[in-house]
Amino acid sequence: MSTNKSVSLLKAIKPYKQGWCIQVKLVHSWRQKTNYGGDTLELIFADESGDKIHCTCKRNYIQRTQRDLRLGEWHMIDIFSLSNATGQYRTTNHTYKMSIIEDTKISKSSLVCDDKFFSFAGFEEIGNGTLKTHFLIDVIGQVTSLRDIQTVQVSGKDKKKVEFRLLDSSGQSIVCYPNMVCLIWFAKIGFYKGEVQVTNAFDASLILFNPECPEALALTNVPNNELALALIDPKKDKRVTRYQVDDWNDVDIKSISEITMATMEEDCKIICSIESIDTDWSWFYQGHDSCKKRAILIKSKSGNLASNEKPVFWCTSCRTNVTGVSPKFKLHLVVKDDTSTCKLMILDTNGRVIVGCEAEELWDGSYDEIEDPDVLPQPIKDLVGLSFCFGVTLGSENVSGGSEIFLVS
């Protein structure tokens, strides 16, 4: 239970274990349907210090999660998994995103705090390109230049679009428009006809007119900074298939500074030395033997095992309970060359090659979670200082999704 467990702040939680307990407010949620992700419930939580994190809930757990969570209320959430947060529509600046799993427990918290945890971006920052566009932002301003509703073509379908401009509260000029304030929560920065524009990001965005907050009151003053806005409803649902190399001899060697600034999805090689092991992550995962994909221990079904019994896992790929599970390498390394440093992720087959043994041989045999991630098996510690030539895949999550972790192929 959460009562005898320490509560962590969102900034402290890392993927090496699942047994975290957090106290958070549900600030936003929406249902999402995509071809690759299926039907999911997307959630955004904030903690007392104002940090936010995105959470995904797969179809199997939606009913249960919706029953336990109330919008705008505080909850204790116990046991969940964490993974790298990437993509062009990142709702928070947290390095990781949460997933609800079988063992996740959600209970009410007695905390009361009405803070909405907006993080408003300044119009100047938006306009001069200092903000990374794959992070969604909150904007507020007074509505001006409201245009007629237009019908535009998005992915071959007619969509309604309304454009207007917003004024912030920094200027001296006189307002001559109706006194309407617009707040867009989780908006996307984009570019249209050479102008910086803010749009709603599908169902992730919330649009409020004349919201009740101090920032809205401030806007009744004299404003002049303008920002173009377009509200549009494009449903995008694509997944790019990348060309796979057949022969690594044909692949170019690149420097780390080149791959971190790459604009094209491709495979390449880097020559680098291992600087450290990234212990935000566990060095292995429990993988389903037949599909090699991650399997999550179901504690509630593996409580009091006899010594000859195997615990029950949920295979995230086969979507079924399995027991044929064993440790597989998933190494996260910080590497460097003359030009820069970056992070690499190395999965089981390549992990065996560089470490020189099976992950199972280094495993201590315990299904308990790692409590101190800095305790590593010696053969993994010994990787630090060694140099390798790695084949690296620059995927869409790196090139357009802003991920700084590269997969070794």
Positions that interact with Zn ion (CB under 5 A): 288, 291, 315, 317-318
Token pair 């060697």: residue? 253
Read off the amino acid at residue 214: P
> Least separation, in Å, of the C-beta of 325 and Zn ion?
9
> Least separation, in Å, of the C-beta of 32 and Zn ion?
24
Q: What tokens does 343 get?
A: 């992070």
Q: Of 213 and 291, which has the nearer Cβ to Zn ion?
A: 291
> Least separation, in Å, of the C-beta of 327 and Zn ion?
15
**CA 278, CA 270: separation in Å to the nearest integer?**
19
Kindly provide the residue ranges of all beta strands, DSSP E only, lying in 194-283, ordered along the sequence: 195-200, 206-209, 226-232, 266-277
Q: Of 5 and 319, which has the nearer Cβ to Zn ion?
A: 319
- From residue 184, alpha-carbon distances to 136, 231, 319 in Å are 10, 10, 37
Kindly provide the residue ranges of all beta strands, DSSP E only, lying in 47-180, ordered along the sequence: 52-58, 74-78, 81-84, 96-99, 105-108, 137-144, 150-154, 157-167
**CA 235, CA 240: separation in Å to the nearest integer?**
16
> Least separation, in Å, of the C-beta of 286 and Zn ion?
11
Q: Of 17 and 292, which has the nearer Cβ to Zn ion?
A: 292
> Least separation, in Å, of the C-beta of 214 and Zn ion?
51
- Contact at 8 Å (CB) between 188 and 133? yes
Q: Of 129 and 324, which has the nearer Cβ to Zn ion?
A: 324
Q: Of 50 and 324, which has the nearer Cβ to Zn ion?
A: 324
For residue 257, report the phi and psi dihedrals to the nearest 5 degrees: -65, -30
Token pair 């903690």: residue? 47
> Least separation, in Å, of the C-beta of 290 and Zn ion?
6
SS3 (DSSP) at 211: coil
> Least separation, in Å, of the C-beta of 301 and Zn ion?
17
Read off the amino acid at residue 238: K
For residue 289, report the phi and psi dihedrals to the nearest 5 degrees: -60, -35
Q: What tokens does 345 get?
A: 């992720």
> Least separation, in Å, of the C-beta of 281 and Zn ion?
21
> Least separation, in Å, of the C-beta of 329 and Zn ion?
17
Q: What tokens does 155 get?
A: 């992915």
250: left (phi over 0), alpha (psi -120 to 50) or beta: alpha
Q: Of 273 and 323, which has the nearer Cβ to Zn ion?
A: 323
Q: Of 329 and 388, which has the nearer Cβ to Zn ion?
A: 329
Q: Of 38 and 379, which has the nearer Cβ to Zn ion?
A: 38
Q: Exposed, middle or buried by CB within 10 Å (0-12, 13-18, 19+), for 123?
A: buried
Residue 353, C-beta contacts closer than 8 angstroms, at least 6 positions apart: none
Q: Of 100 and 296, which has the nearer Cβ to Zn ion?
A: 296
Q: Of 20 and 329, which has the nearer Cβ to Zn ion?
A: 329
DSSP state of 129: T
